[in-house]
Amino acid sequence: MSRFTRIFAALTTAAALLTAEGQACTRVVYQGPEGRNLTGRNMDFKDPMVSNFWVFPRGMKRNGAAGSRSVEWTSKFGSLAVSGYDISTVDGMNEAGLNASLLWLNATKFAEDDGMTPRMSLSIWAQFYLDQFATVAEAVEYARSHPVEVVSGEVPGRPGSLAPLHLTLSDATGDSAVLEWIGGKLSIHHGRTYQVVTNDPPYNDQLANQKYWSAVDSLNFLPGSGRSEDRFVRAGFYINAVTRSDDPRIAAAAVFSVIRNASVPYGVSLPEAPNLSTTRWRVVADQKSMVFYGESATSPNVFWVDLKKLDFSEGVHVRKLDLGVDMNRIFAGEASNEFVPAKPFDFMAAE
């Protein structure tokens, strides 16, 4: 390799990584045979993250943690929630098979407060849907007919920096939705075709970029950088190219293989890009078998929780699986017996 080629390759790599700067995540929906639908996601973040598994029963009284006009509800469904810093729900699946995931979107612009519309903190946005709905169609109908102002809060460890996130939903039928706040208005993409979500740009632009790449022979060339647009195209190709199987082990392996391919290498660092994200952990929800898998980027093992073994009855204790920083506590195999009673965390308030 010539000196010029080496320099060019290094500059190209640095440019690709620089465009990946900030927070980055990837979420995919696998639509297999016999209703074998699974959802997988990477959690990519610049800083180490405390994320634990929580079992929330039915009948929990909630409010939107956003001041005097906060939405109030009582949970209809129990759920296995994944926390972010134990101040928010960032992922999870309820007992009906509805999955909710929060991902970073810099283009987010939440609505200005109009003084009348009910409000909800961003920290509890995903949990609201896990608590209330069995299907994506029900959730989308509600979102369209019941206006709510979602209010952001500070990113942990970054005073003054408000979290810009979008929400994805999927269910046991393979249906999917992407909810984004663009220009102060809620944009919703709803349908089985919306299998892949990454980060910026807004979803309409991602779809246009994917259409452009559809003219390229993906077997011979795929965009390979860590950029959100490249991960979107790459994951979109692979999630429909991997083996289709009703075997839960094979299906889960296929989904893990796709999200690992879209991961950001652990600990990647460049002096020119101090805010690069790295994949901290991965989760996969089998929405037919009702099994929720977890994998830390720092652990050699996959562990999982069989939701059929959890008690979601109204009045039972909230339970917690303490996973440590970046889920680095070592678990392997089925872990439902490892949960212990715990006081539920307080969702971060937003005013």
Q: Does the annotation count 25 as an active-site position?
A: yes
**How far apart (Å, rounded) are the C-alpha atoms in residues 215 and 231?**
17
User: Mean pLDDT of all residues in the chain?
Assistant: 91
**What pLDDT shows up at residue 268?**
80
Q: How far is CA 243 from the centre of its chain?
A: 23
pLDDT in tens, 257-276: 999 999 988 888 777 666 67
Beta bridge partners of 334: 304
Q: What is residue 273's DSSP assignment?
A: B
Of the residues 17, 24, 25, 93, only one is catalytic, namely 25
Q: Where are the alpha helices (DSSP H) in 20-151?
A: 125-132, 136-145
Q: Please, which pLDDT band fits residue 2 given cuts at 50, 70 and 90?
A: very low
For residue 34, pLDDT over 90 is answered with: yes
Q: What is residue 336's DSSP assignment?
A: G
**What pLDDT shows up at residue 130?**
99
**What pLDDT shows up at residue 17?**
37
Question: Which amino acid belongs to residue 346?
Answer: D
DSSP codes joined into one string, 296-333:
ETT-S-EEEEEGGGS---TTSPPEEE---BTT-S---E
Beta bridge partners of 30: 38
Report field, pTM of the whole predicted structure over 0.85: yes
pLDDT in tens, 279-333: 999 999 999 999 999 999 999 899 999 999 999 999 999 999 999 999 999 999 9
Q: Please, which pLDDT band fits residue 7 given cuts at 50, 70 and 90?
A: very low
Beta bridge partners of 28: 40, 196
For residue 12, pLDDT over 50 is answered with: no
Find the radius of gyration of the CA atoms of the chain.
20
**What pLDDT shows up at residue 23?**
65
**Average pLDDT value for residue range 147-172:** 87
**Average pLDDT value for residue range 203-228:** 89
**How far apart (Å, rounded) are the C-alpha atoms in residues 99 and 176?**
9
For residue 73, pLDDT over 60 is answered with: yes
Q: Please, which pLDDT band fits residue 162 given cuts at 50, 70 and 90?
A: confident
Of the ranges 14-18, 72-76, 199-203, which one carries the lowest mean pLDDT score?
14-18
Q: What is residue 34's DSSP assignment?
A: G
